[in-house]
Chain A
């Protein structure tokens, strides 16, 4: 069953804590992306990775970090430096970078208590 697996689906965090959101794909796609969605706003790009061991900042990278050690995995860490982390986080992949057809994971909803 090919697809993108995001975990956890729901996550609660206390202020000052770092949390890591997992994104795993078995689609053999080269490009992976992390988006953030807030109510009434479009998806905003946090980070993207074109290939293994490479990643670039998106529009709102401050307070976030990523790694791409394996083609299948692109975890996102929300650090304590992110001032307003409560949001719906979406991981997406594309066959190759620049191929705009994105496939999305089910999302992770982070709430800061």
Chain B
């Protein structure tokens, strides 16, 4: 079982719609959760992090965490073509808070 799992996609949504990206993790002791965006050929850039159960909103982005279900999601409202990228879920776990990355979900927003 992979430590951090994401649907590889591609996920395609029309411009203006809500994109929903999901991530599950195996280590129940995980404490920190991150979403990175990676454009093709570029390095990842941090979008959001969340530590507590519930929702965290930042502009058009909302991260949702459910530790009981070991599930974290990212919602992108009013999706724009510029949001088209691969979204990486990362989870901090273990004594050293080791970061574990999912393989990423490729999102395409169609004009």
Which residues of A are interface residues toward B (Cβ below 8 A)? Answer: 35, 40-45, 90, 97-107
Contacts and interface: CB of A to CB of B under 8 A. Distances in A.
Contacts, number: 48
B45 A104 contact: yes
Q: What range describes how many residues of B lie at the interface?
A: 20 to 34
A44 B43 CA distance: 14
A49 to B, nearest CB: 13
Contact of B103 (A42, A45, A100): A42
B69 interface: no
Contacts of A45: 98-99
8 contacts: A35-B101, A42-B4, A42-B100, A43-B44, A90-B44, A98-B96, A103-B46, A106-B43
B43 A43 contact: no
A99 B49 CA distance: 12
Contacts of B42: 106-107
